[in-house]
Amino acid sequence: MSEPTTTSDSVSVLIVDDEQGLTDLYALYLEEGYATRTAYDGETALDIMDEDVDVVLLDRRMPGMSGDEVLTELRAQGFDQPVAMLTAVDPGEDILAMDIDDYFVKPIDEDELREAVDTLAKRAQYDEEFREYFAVISKKAAMEANLPEQDLAESEAYQQLEQEAEDAKTDADNAFKELTETDSTAGFRGL
């Protein structure tokens, strides 16, 4: 079993599949190092979904509410966590319109599943680091656009923003480097 390279103890995964045995197997695969939640139907998944979930693994074909419908509802409720479809349905042209981060055709083994969750968690971390960087840069730019250089030079807040911008850029660069080291072949899986 491969060990995840993120701080997986803090990664929470929601696994949604109507095949209870498969859902429980996926949870067992992730038991070591990940916090897991399971749902055997779409309605339950929506009920237990919250901001603490970091990654969603979603079956596409389920009775009642399909995975596509669950995905649409998650996005409508404002959840932007990474979602991977884990399904027996081969992807078609409709995959282009799906707001997902990855697509896996079953069966998927333990190492593939752990790698997928780890990669999705890293992508989310990179997104967060990137957003923080742009937030600091935007604040800094607003001060630069509205204050004379002399005031900027004397402003402790501006000096703090300059340091925060430098730190945020370093954090974003490091997150991107880590992501590309482990995710550089994601687009070529299965070729």
Assess whether pLDDT exceeds 90 at residue 171. no
Residue 178, number of CB atoms within 10 A of its CB:
15
Residue 56: closest CA among 32, 77, 39:
39
CA distance 39 to 23: 8
Poorest-confidence range of 15-19, 58-62, 156-160, 182-186?
Answer: 182-186
Give the mean model confidence (pLDDT) for residues 135-139: 76
CA dihedral 39, 45, 50, 52 (to 10 degrees): 30
Q: What are phi and psi of 33, to 5 degrees?
A: 100, -10
Residue 26: closest CA among 34, 18, 15:
15
Sorted by where each begins, the domain ranges of the chain are: 8-120, 123-188
Three-class SS of residue 16?
A: strand
Task: Please state, rounded to an integer, the average pLDDT across all residues of the chain.
Answer: 84
For residue range 8-56, list pLDDT tens digits in order: 558 999 999 999 999 999 999 999 999 999 999 999 999 999 999 999 9
Q: Give the per-residue pLDDT at 84.
A: 92
Q: Tokens 């990669």 belong to which residue?
A: 119
CA distance 64 to 10: 32
Q: Give the per-residue pLDDT at 188.
A: 44
Query: For residue 98, what are its two tokens?
Result: 């799906």
Which of 164 and 130 is assigned the larger pLDDT? 164
Q: Which residues contact 77 (CB under 8 A, 6 or more apart)?
A: 46, 49
Fold of 8-120: Rossmann fold (3.40.50)
The number of helix segments (H) and strand segments (E) in the chain equals 6, 5
- Sign (positive/negative) of CA torsion 153, 157, 160, 162? negative
Q: Give the per-residue pLDDT at 151.
A: 87
Query: For residue 17, what are its two tokens?
Result: 């599949």
Q: Which residues contact 89 (CB under 8 A, 6 or more apart)?
A: 60, 61, 105
